[in-house]
Amino acid sequence: MRFIAYRNAQGVGLAARHEDGSYRGLLKHAPSYPGDLNLLIATGDARVLAEAGRVLLKEGEKVQPDAVSYLPPVSRPPKIICIGLNYADHTNESGFKPQEYPTVFARFASSLIGHGAPIIRPAASDQLDYEGELAAIIGKRGRNISKADALDHVVGYALFNDASIRDYQFKSPQWTVGKNFDDTGAFGPEFVTADELPPGARGLMLRTKLNGQVMQEASTDDMVFDIPTLIETLSEAFTLEPGDVIVTGTPAGVGLARTPPVWMKHGDVCEVEVDGFQTLINPIRNANDVATEDAGSQRAA
């Protein structure tokens, strides 16, 4: 099953993808609305998601993608756990030693945006970089999860662009600030349940394009630590909860490592593709330009 969370002029809704490729959705105020993905995933029962999909396909109205704003599929994750340097070629281009243990950092939900929303280049920096990634969403609570049982805890997947403010990322040994500027965590478009993909999302090609040019390309098989290993390792330290998002790392080709560096700028368009997913597309806008436009809109109102 494939879901999108969206907003239109009437409110917030949830839609499921029909076999013909269209989406059928219900708004939050509809009597048959099954709940948002935050609540559905929080039940810890994949059957609840399947039933929600059936209701949406049976009773929902056709959603026109051009007439809605996409929302992050999971807007309030309990935790967003990001894995750095999880492709060996990216580790090499970044000047780090081969990883013997996952490099883990956190993102905050306040940084998340949906498909189609602008990634904002902040006024404080011009070093806005792209990082196309695959995200795994936890659907079953667990601690000290074995690798053999790990995929039982994954309810689905989505695409992620871990857009990074590089100079702020390296102002200190901790990457938190550079990874958490507002409006830099593009997430979506679809939430794809795990049964739609190969186990552990293995063997899928990931590509990041900037203005149509392929900048990153690798297979998910190239991860240093695959998804079962990440779940086993992370759950040694803390409980994984339904709705947690594990952002699994980016391959080589980031703008920082290029000569000269390639930074995303106002007017650019960044796309993240993974086999079997709708492409995640986000334009780039400058914070100062957005503020000027917002002020103009307020004056016009």
Query: Rounded CA gap, 130 and 115, in Å?
Result: 15
Degrees to nearest 5, angle at CA 143 with 137 and 146? 85
> What is the reported pLDDT for 291?
56
Q: What are the C-alpha distances in Å from 267 to residues 118, 120, 126, 159, 212?
A: 10, 11, 14, 22, 13
Sole residue written with tokens 């580790």: 91
Query: Rounded CA gap, 123 and 140, in Å?
Result: 40
> What is the reported pLDDT for 91?
82
Whole-structure pTM value: 0.94
Per-residue pLDDT for the chain (301 aa), expressed as one digit of tens each? 999 999 999 999 999 999 999 999 999 999 999 999 999 999 999 899 999 999 999 999 999 988 999 999 999 999 999 999 999 888 888 888 888 999 999 999 999 999 999 999 999 999 999 999 999 999 999 999 999 999 999 999 999 999 999 999 999 999 999 999 999 999 999 999 999 999 999 999 999 999 999 999 999 999 999 999 999 999 999 999 999 999 999 999 999 999 999 999 999 999 999 999 999 999 999 998 875 565 444 433 3
Contact of 179 with 105, CB cutoff 8 Å: yes
Q: Is 238 left (phi over 0), alpha (psi -120 to 50) or beta?
A: beta
> What is the reported pLDDT for 101?
97
> What is the reported pLDDT for 94?
82
> What is the reported pLDDT for 294?
57
> What is the reported pLDDT for 263?
98
- Please name which of 186, 197, 299 lies closest in space to residue 250, comparing C-alpha atoms: 186
